[in-house]
Amino acid sequence: MATTALATATAPTTSLTAATPPWLAALRARTPPGDAVLDLGCGCGIPVARSLAQAGYRVTGVDVSWVELRRARRLVPTARFLHADATRVAFPAEAFDAVVCLYVLVHLPLQEQPVLLRRIAGWLRPGGWLLGSGTAQGPWTAQGPWTGTEDGWLGGPAPMWWSHADAVTYRAWIQAAGLRVTEQEIIPEEKGGHVLFWARPPPG
CATH number of the CATH domain containing 144: 3.40.50.150
| Structure confidence by residue, pLDDT tens digits, 158-190 | 655 456 788 888 899 999 999 999 999 887 766
> What is the model's pLDDT at position 192?
62
- Asked if residue 51 belongs to a domain, the reply is yes
85 vs 137, which has greater pLDDT? 85
The type of residue at 101 is: C
What is the per-residue DSSP string for 80-139?
A: EEEE--TTT----TT-EEEEEE-S-GGGS-GGGHHHHHHHHHHHEEEEEEEEEEEEEEST
**What percent of the chain stands above pLDDT 90?**
58
In the chain, which residue ranges form alpha helices assigned H by DSSP?
Answer: 22-30, 48-54, 66-75, 113-123, 167-176
- Asked if residue 21 belongs to a domain, the reply is no
Domain limits for position 159:
33-200
- Asked if residue 96 belongs to a domain, the reply is yes
- For the cut 50, the answer to whether the pLDDT of residue 68 exceeds it is yes
> What is the model's pLDDT at position 86?
93
Confidence of residue 93 (pLDDT cuts 50, 70, 90): very high
Instruction: Kindly report the pTM of this predicted structure.
Output: 0.82
Write down the mean pLDDT value for the chain.
82
- Asked if residue 176 belongs to a domain, the reply is yes
- Asked if residue 40 belongs to a domain, the reply is yes
- Asked if residue 22 belongs to a domain, the reply is no
Total domains, the chain: 1
> What is the model's pLDDT at position 194?
75
- Asked if residue 136 belongs to a domain, the reply is yes
- Asked if residue 6 belongs to a domain, the reply is no
